[in-house]
Amino acid sequence: MTQLKVLFLSITAIILFFCSNVYSQNDAIKIVGKLLDEETKEPISNVTVFLSFTSYHTQTNMFGEFSIYGVVPGAYSLICVAKGYQKVSLRVDVNGKANLKANIVLKKMTSLNKNDISQVSTFIERHKFVEKFKKEFLGGSIRTYKCEIVNENDITFTHNGIQLFAHSDTPIIIINKSLGYKLTVFLNKFEWEWFSDYGKFSIDMYFDELKPADSFEAVRFAANRLEAYKGSFRHFLRACAIRKVYKEGFVAFLANYVPQELGEYEEFKDQVEDERSSNVMRLIDAIIIENSENEFTIELEGYLEVVYKGRKEEANYTEYKERIFGTSELYDFQDSWVYFPGGKYTFTSRGIGLESEKYSKQLFGYWNWKRVSDLLPNEYEPIEVLE
């Protein structure tokens, strides 16, 4: 490689790394506020305040005040967490026209006496539970191997013989060396059934950028982030908003259910390859309502099968695919399903969901296999990486 090309790559890496999460600063605004104790009305210091699934976060000062700068337009969940207090979650709509100010009251935590028949895990069981938690929480993609849970000893496990539960009083810290982020995760719920091997979890979290060691690592971070974005549920929603679903590499089909066994691959492959752009757009137009220039709603009672033709299924997907669908045959495209329990799902033009309900969508197939290790902050903006 010539010296000139090395210099060009270095400059490109720096630009890509610092621009991949950048939105027009002309539109960015500030969110300020104050946290007060509900009973005493006294300010609360050291409260962690963040916009969930973004890199926007801070802590209150001795006067209970906080400021979050540079917030780009969108809808967010503002989360406030303090030891000894109940967590607060508020929806915040940022329109880019004016700074926002909020005074927030926190209620003290109350101890609830429940008839809990769960058992605390033993030392021998804990190792098995930790591995199961990592597998289902982080996901199975290649990025999982570059993720480290720094404080896994802070996670406690209980079970009732049928279900596994995970809990943590402190945020779970994850270092993702594939995407270049430190994740601070607040675990709301994690429960998993042993016999059906099915479960669910709910989290709030924020991101911090990892500093790349050099320009080549900056390029790797940018390339991996783009790879994680391509074909994702967010990518699909964004393609729907701009009506470029087919051009972005997606095709979609209505479905009555998620099959327990997949049909003949070659037959389905032909169906995917033969699907026309006009058919895809006709379906998208039938299920999507444009509420405004920046807000859209999918209205759908059944399931939507979405195929992304831009990437093959990862080799690591074989174990999950065989467990769920009874086949380990990998496709030349990525096959997923989505279901909206409420019959609708509202999202922004940037592909960010606006539903406050934690389980407002259910993902199946490839999208469900990709989990915390493939998450990107909501303000991430995809930029093509030069080869």
Distance CA 78, CA 50 (A): 6
The pLDDT value recorded for residue 383 is 78
Same domain, 255 and 355: yes
Q: How far apart are CA 318 and CA 324, in angstroms?
A: 10
How much of the chain is in helix, strand and coil states, percent to nearest 5?
A: 25, 35, 40
Residue 341 and residue 240 in one domain: yes
pLDDT at 197: 87
CATH number at residue 24: 2.60.40.10
Residue range(s) defining the domain that contains residue 282:
233-369
SS3 of residue 374 by DSSP = helix
Pick the last residue of a domain from 106, 134, 164: 106
Whether residues 327 and 306 fall in one domain = yes
Q: What is the pLDDT of residue 186?
A: 97
| 20 within some domain | yes
In this structure, the answer to whether residues 48 and 76 fall within a common structural domain is yes
Whether 181 and 259 map to the same domain: the answer is no
Q: How confident is the model at residue 97, as a pLDDT? A: 67
Give domain status of residue 301, yes or no: yes
- Residues whose CB is less than 8 angstroms from the CB of residue 373 and which lie 6 or more positions away in sequence, other chains included: 138, 139, 141, 143, 144, 146, 147, 176, 178
Mean pLDDT by 10 residues, the chain (387 residues): 41 44 58 95 96 96 94 87 94 77 90 56 79 94 96 94 93 98 97 89 96 95 96 97 96 95 91 95 96 92 97 95 93 97 92 76 95 95 65
| Identity of the residue numbered 9 | L
Name residue, tokens 């279901």: 339
**Residue 137 confidence (pLDDT):** 96
Structural domain includes residue 310: yes
pLDDT per residue over 54-80, tens digit each? 999 999 999 999 999 988 877 889 999
Number of domains in the chain: 3
Q: What is the pLDDT of residue 4?
A: 39
Handedness of CA 342, 344, 348, 350 (dihedral sign): positive
Shared domain check, 356 and 238:
yes
How far is residue 364's CA from residue 17's CA, in Å, rounded to a whole number? 31
Is residue 377 a part of any domain in this protein?
no
Give the Cα separation of 326 and 316 in Å (integer).
Answer: 15
Q: Are residues 138 and 35 in the same domain?
A: no
- Position 381 in a domain: no
pLDDT for the residue 111: 67
8 alpha carbon, distance to own chain's centre: 33
92 in the same domain as 133: no
Q: Do 174 and 96 share a structural domain?
A: no
Residue 93 shares a structural domain with residue 146: no
Residues 246, 327 share a domain: yes
For residues 336 and 368, the answer to whether their CB atoms sit within 8 Å is yes
102 shares its domain with 128 = no
Instruction: For residue 225, tell me if it sits in a domain.
Output: no
Residue 341 in domain: yes
Asked if residue 157 belongs to a domain, the reply is yes
What is the pLDDT, as a whole number, of residue 356? 62
